[in-house]
């Protein structure tokens, strides 16, 4: 599952200046596997990085490096390739071939039990790759469905040689058992020793699980399962799931024999004993497996039976001698009746035919007649056999028993494919299989089983594989992540479009605000769905931060500030302001919501305080004049009365204003001070 940089610091890291880590694929006991990009060769790879707490353990480091060396020695289409190995600071890593798809364990979780055809197809591929390893002297020692990779394009590969060791080395594990307990051979459980036959045992358990959907041994504790491996015989798959072919029962029994000497010696021997797929009369496929021992045919015993088997009519006449007439009609001593399994020679004819024969001569004549009769019978048999042979040749040649190639049908409808198969003498299986496909639209045929261009017998049942559209992938955390983190998490599985940028007062700059995709109905808010089609278009909306506040700036400064973030200065409106000096921006307004680059920002520019024409207050008392001017926002001042009489009455309410400074009619502004003059 994809993990973002907030929870895994390896995401986004560049290893050895070459491998940029994109996302996490899986996590195991010794290491974590990441999807990365080889920036030098521009290809996707899988990088297996040892856990940091194990990197300081020299034994674990050596075992980890041993995996790379063991796997790098191997090159086979059914083995995951190893490209590189190294260490950088606290990071010990292996670079491997990236196989997009699922594991055999995922397939078993989805379908539980597989068909015999599917199980034997997978077994053949695993055996082919394992045979390459065994031929190189390497024992895997950790075979299980989790280590069998099923690629999206149909390839089957065996990986994870983390416990592999050379067969020439000491293959004992010591006190600790390595591998998964459900697939450990009896000798690994009891003696801790492993060789190529231990791998075969694990394959036998895997074959049982593929055929039945469950492991043969169960228990609440690992020790209970180990005890059953060491002391019990693996049951036949057909006992758990009736209908499993007897040949596969035999293959499981052979591979899981408790005594290693009773198993195939290596993967090549087991692979050589597997025959191809043959069709039953029901139209279903069945895999035929040759038994490990050669069958011996024994002919019936006994003299008469053996003679009859060879067509000898005289088997019961051995006690009679054959009389041979000489030229004079006298009898000679006869030879033995049979020499080397052949009858004795017939009578020699003389110049004249004798009217009557002796009893011995009559018997010889009778035998000659019988031989002639057998000759005619043999001729008839030969003719019949020739006709039968011709019929068989016609049946398996142009007739219904011949071979044809499966046509290419990708992109067609199911009905079109059924017609195409029928026109080629093939039979379309009633049930179809659904499989994700990036190229073929949902509902159309993406492939056949067996695949196109394979030569099969006429009348073979062909299963149609229908596209379910792109594979649905769980979406990682997007909104609230930095743009670079979100792009790294999405880049390998989806089609990233050019991001959209907009200003937001609530979201920091360079942070994802939203993510949108598309489907048949239009735009899709990806924050409302958990899964999205593989390689589907994804558009990120990224925050540019808040629109800059230009209040209090001059128009020139405001223009520079807005242009620096991609905005433009819009209309300018002037307004009196008692608080903002003349020529400075009072406020700004964004014309579009949300604001994007290029959006105009309108501003209100101050004209300074509101002008006031000073009214005439001449003749009014000081209090009246002050009240009038203060109501206009002006300040009022006047000198104190120095006349002694002013102390005896309220002079400000009595004395009139003579003049003002500034004079009446002058333009003033709020906050200006007006001085009143009066007579004392």
CA distance 6 to 3: 8
Per-residue model confidence (pLDDT) at position 437? 87
Per-residue model confidence (pLDDT) at position 358? 46
Mean pLDDT of 403-430: 91
Question: Residue 368 — very low, low, confident or very high, per pLDDT cuts 50/70/90?
Answer: low
Mean pLDDT of 453-468: 89
For the ranges 257-266, 335-344, 403-412, the lowest mean pLDDT is seen at 335-344
Spell out the domain ranges in the chain. 14-97, 103-289, 405-467, 472-543, 555-606, 612-678
Mean pLDDT of 148-155: 92
For the ranges 68-77, 199-208, 598-607, the lowest mean pLDDT is seen at 68-77
Q: Which CATH architecture has domain 103-289?
A: Orthogonal Bundle (1.10)
Contacts made by residues 347-355, CB under 8 angstroms, sequence distance 24+: 348/324, 350/325, 354/325, 354/329
Please report, to the nearest 10 degrees, the dihedral formed by the alpha carbons of residues 414, 415, 420, 421 taken in order: 70
DSSP structural state of residue 260: G
Which residues are identified as catalytic?
Answer: 142
Per-residue model confidence (pLDDT) at position 56? 72
CATH topology of domain 405-467: Trypsin Inhibitor V; Chain A (3.30.10)
Tell me which range, 20-24, 357-361, 403-407, is most confidently predicted by mean pLDDT.
20-24
- Distance spanning both ends of the chain, measured CA to CA: 95
Per-residue model confidence (pLDDT) at position 136? 87
For the ranges 9-18, 332-341, 374-383, 511-520, the lowest mean pLDDT is seen at 332-341
Strand partners, 534: none
CA distance 466 to 432: 7
Averaged pLDDT score across all residues of the chain? 81
Per-residue model confidence (pLDDT) at position 169? 38
- 470-482 pLDDT, tens digit per residue, is 888 899 989 999 9
The CATH number assigned to the domain with range 555-606 reads 3.30.10.20
Q: Which CATH architecture has domain 472-543?
A: 2-Layer Sandwich (3.30)
Mean pLDDT of 266-292: 56
Q: What pTM, to 2 d.p., does this model score?
A: 0.43
Question: Residue 564 — very low, low, confident or very high, per pLDDT cuts 50/70/90?
Answer: very high
Question: Residue 165 — very low, low, confident or very high, per pLDDT cuts 50/70/90?
Answer: low
Per-residue model confidence (pLDDT) at position 362? 57
Per-residue model confidence (pLDDT) at position 359? 52
The CATH number assigned to the domain with range 612-678 reads 3.30.10.20
Q: Is the pLDDT of residue 463 over 80?
A: yes
Per-residue model confidence (pLDDT) at position 340? 38
Mean pLDDT of 11-35: 89
Interhelix angle 246-255/196-212, rounded to 10 degrees, is 150
- 617-661 pLDDT, tens digit per residue, is 999 999 999 999 999 989 999 999 988 888 888 899 989 999 999
Question: Residue 363 — very low, low, confident or very high, per pLDDT cuts 50/70/90?
Answer: low
| SS3 annotation, 523-565 | EEEHHHCCEEECCCEEEEEEECCCCCCCCCCEHHHHHHHHHHC
Question: Residue 283 — very low, low, confident or very high, per pLDDT cuts 50/70/90?
Answer: very low
And the tokens for 224?
Answer: 């209970």
Mean pLDDT of 457-483: 90
Per-residue model confidence (pLDDT) at position 176? 38
Instruction: Assess whether the region 405-467 and the region 555-606 belong to the same CATH fold.
Output: yes
Task: Let me know: does 156 contact 102? Beta carbons within 8 Å.
Answer: no
Nearest Cα to Cα of residue 212 among 248, 177, 238:
238
| HSE value, Cβ hemisphere, 13 Å, CA-based, for 631 | 8
Q: Is the pLDDT of residue 589 over 90?
A: yes
- Per cent of the chain over pLDDT 90 is 51
Q: Is the pLDDT of residue 215 over 90?
A: yes
For the ranges 115-119, 207-211, 574-578, 598-602, the lowest mean pLDDT is seen at 574-578
- 534-560 pLDDT, tens digit per residue, is 889 999 999 999 999 999 999 999 999
- Per cent of the chain over pLDDT 70 is 80
And the tokens for 621?
Answer: 């008392």
For the ranges 66-75, 181-190, 196-205, the lowest mean pLDDT is seen at 66-75
Instruction: Return the CATH number of 14-97, one of 3.40.50.970, 3.20.20.70, 3.30.200.20, 1.10.3720.10.
Output: 3.30.200.20
CA distance 38 to 81: 15
Per-residue model confidence (pLDDT) at position 397? 60
């Amino acid at each position: 599952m994809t993990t973002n940089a907030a929870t895994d610091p390896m995401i986004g890291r560049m290893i050895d200046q070459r491998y940029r880590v994109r996302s996490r694929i899986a996590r195991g006991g010794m290491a974590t596997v990441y999807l990365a990009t080889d920036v030098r060769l521009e290809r996707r790879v899988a990088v297996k990085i040892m856990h940091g707490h194990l990197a300081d353990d020299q034994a674990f480091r050596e075992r980890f490096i041993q995996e790379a060396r063991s796997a790098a020695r191997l090159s086979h289409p059914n083995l995951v390739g190893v490209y590189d190995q190294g260490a950088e600071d606290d990071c010990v890593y292996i670079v491997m071939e990236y196989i997009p798809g699922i594991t055999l364990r995922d397939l078993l979780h989805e379908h539980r039990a597989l068909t015999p055809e599917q199980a034997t197809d997978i077994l053949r591929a695993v055996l082919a790759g394992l045979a390459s390893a065994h031929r190189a002297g390497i024992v895997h020692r950790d075979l299980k469905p989790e280590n069998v990779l099923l690629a999206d394009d149909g390839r089957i590969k065996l990986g994870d040689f983390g416990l592999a060791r050379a067969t020439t080395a000491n293959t004992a594990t010591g006190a600790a058992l390595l591998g998964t307990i459900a697939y450990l051979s009896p000798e690994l459980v009891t003696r801790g020793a492993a060789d190529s036959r231990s791998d075969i045992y694990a394959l036998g358990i895997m074959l049982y699980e593929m055929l039945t959907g469950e492991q043969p041994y169960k228990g609440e504790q690992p020790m209970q399962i180990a005890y059953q491996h060491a002391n019990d015989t693996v049951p036949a798959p057909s006992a758990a799931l009736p209908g499993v072919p007897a040949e596969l029962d035999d293959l499981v029994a052979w591979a899981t024999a408790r005594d290693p000497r009773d198993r195939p010696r290596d993967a090549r021997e087991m692979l050589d004993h597997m025959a191809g797929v043959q069709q039953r009369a029901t139209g279903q496929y069945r895999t035929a497996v040759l038994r490990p021992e050669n069958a011996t045919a024994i002919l019936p015993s006994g003299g008469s039976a053996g003679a009859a088997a060879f067509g000898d009519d005289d088997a019961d006449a051995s006690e009679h001698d054959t009389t041979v007439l000489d030229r004079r009609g006298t009898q000679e001593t006869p030879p033995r009746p049979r020499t080397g399994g052949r009858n004795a020679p017939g009578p020699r004819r003389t110049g004249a035919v004798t009217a009557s024969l002796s009893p011995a001569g009559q018997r010889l004549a009778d035998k000659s007649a019988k031989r002639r009769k057998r000759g005619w019978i043999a001729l008839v048999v030969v003719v019949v056999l020739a006709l039968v042979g011709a019929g068989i040749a016609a049946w398996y040649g142009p007739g219904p028993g011949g071979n044809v190639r499966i046509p290419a049908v990708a992109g067609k409808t199911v009905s079109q494919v059924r017609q195409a198969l029928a026109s080629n003498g093939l039979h379309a299986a009633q049930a179809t299989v659904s499989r994700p496909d990036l190229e073929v639209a949902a509902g159309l045929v993406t492939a056949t089983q067996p695949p196109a261009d394979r030569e099969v017998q006429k009348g073979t049942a062909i299963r149609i594989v229908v596209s379910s559209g792109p594979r649905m992938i769980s979406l990682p955390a997007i909104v609230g992540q930095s743009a670079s983190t979100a792009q790294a998490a999405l880049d390998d599985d989806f089609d990233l479009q050019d991001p959209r940028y907009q200003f937001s007062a609530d979201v920091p700059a360079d942070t994802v605000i939203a993510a949108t995709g598309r489907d048949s109905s239009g735009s899709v808010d990806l924050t409302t769905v958990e899964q999205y089609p593989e390689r589907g278009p994804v558009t990120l909306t990224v925050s540019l931060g808040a629109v800059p506040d230009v209040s209090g700036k001059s128009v020139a400064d405001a223009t520079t500030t807005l242009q620096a973030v991609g905005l433009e200065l819009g209309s300018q409106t002037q307004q009196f302001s008692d608080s903002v000096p003349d020529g400075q921006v009072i406020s700004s307004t964004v014309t579009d919501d949300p604001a994007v680059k290029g959006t105009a920002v309108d501003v209100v520019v101050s004209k300074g305080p509101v002008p006031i024409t000073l009214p005439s207050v001449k003749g009014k008392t000081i209090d009246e004049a002050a009240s009038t001017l203060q109501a206009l926002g002006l300040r009022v001042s006047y000198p104190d009365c120095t006349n002694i009489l002013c102390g005896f009455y309220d002079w400000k309410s009595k004395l009139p204003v003579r003049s003002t400074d500034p004079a009446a009619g002058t333009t003033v502004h709020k906050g200006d001070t007006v001085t009143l003059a009066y007579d004392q």
